[in-house]
Structure 1
């Protein structure tokens, strides 16, 4: 894992943005159906003009040793993460394409399930803003494999420590996270 490749300044900035913008301390039901006493609304971070560039740099540093041409995942959580990484790469003079995986294929137009760059035959990275069970990421992995992509890993900004890593590993993929909800954010 390349968490050590994340600059200390970017890591602290990301922790600050997540704590200030995203952590909601109330009882919620997560998309996995599990209940929790806190919610991490990462879209408040990934769609924030000051925080999104940090997200892009952190996620690129986290995955800088992986070989992939495109990044994305299941809409909606993955979309701004992939966009932040795409823009971070462009700012560094590099190129990184992005894609969006729909929950199901469109019923009109081109009937596509994966929008954006063509992923067939490409090495791709699946991203997510936060993960509980890994279900969203694995749904994207399945769609990408069906489309002929080679998925190299799954990377998330915040891991809740509730089974996603194990589920992704069962699917034969490496799982990386930038921040731990428990260790880095003090959320239990």
Structure 2
């Protein structure tokens, strides 16, 4: 599936109209439900296929961020045969007490996998936590980069963002659908 078709499909599937209460508590008449593309196998696969060339060639392990990055990282692992670790928002307080489940990251070059990046907070926290476990983290690949304008929200943490789609791509897809 080409880039523009993917943008149109994701936008038409995930952009909902109605009445929604946002995390901030404000009301909105439009909502972007990212889990709708992640739960559609053909779109999930198309996103992962477009992520493959974005992966740094020296990637040892894919780091799927809880929750939205997990299905994408799993599909990406299936396509590339790279091992995966699933990175929690917080370490478990029981059992192994791990922050990352799956492949050990000590000494590994980990490429983070995320669904949507807006402020980069989850990716930053995951990178810092994995670096504390001796992982090398310098890149996050995401399905959609929604960071405003020309901002690079992870620059201060020395993390490059590589995205399949941007907010501008989705806005352009929405405008094309309305014509």
* TM-score, structure 2 normalization: 0.83
Unaligned runs of 5+ in 1: 1-8, 90-94
Are the structure 2 counterparts of residues 39 and 73 from structure 1 closer, same or farther at C-alpha, using a change threshold of 3 Å? farther
Cα shift readout 1:15-69 (whole Å, capped 9, x = no counterpart): 1331232122455535xx5967643322211221211111110111222x44201
Please say which structure displays the higher CA radius of gyration. Answer: 2
- 1:101 CA drift (Å): 1.1
Alignment length (residue pairs): 172
Cα shift readout 1:81-110 (whole Å, capped 9, x = no counterpart): 101211222xxxxx2111111121111111
Cα shift readout 1:114-145 (whole Å, capped 9, x = no counterpart): 10111111001112111111111111111111
Could you say which residue in structure 2 is the equivalent of 1:42?
34
Could you say which residue in structure 2 is the equivalent of 1:82?
73
Q: For the residues of structure 1 that align with 2:97 and 2:130, how far apart are their CA atoms?
A: 15
Q: Secondary structure at the match of 2:59?
A: coil
Q: For the residues of structure 2 that align with 1:164 and 1:42, how far apart are their CA atoms?
A: 22
Could you say which residue in structure 2 is the equivalent of 1:114?
100
Please, what is the CA RMSD of the aligned residues?
A: 2.5
Unaligned runs of 5+ in 2: none
Could you say which residue in structure 1 is the equivalent of 2:124?
138
Could you say which residue in structure 2 is the equivalent of 1:29?
22
* TM-score, structure 1 normalization: 0.80
Q: For the residues of structure 2 that align with 1:162 and 1:62, how far apart are their CA atoms?
A: 21
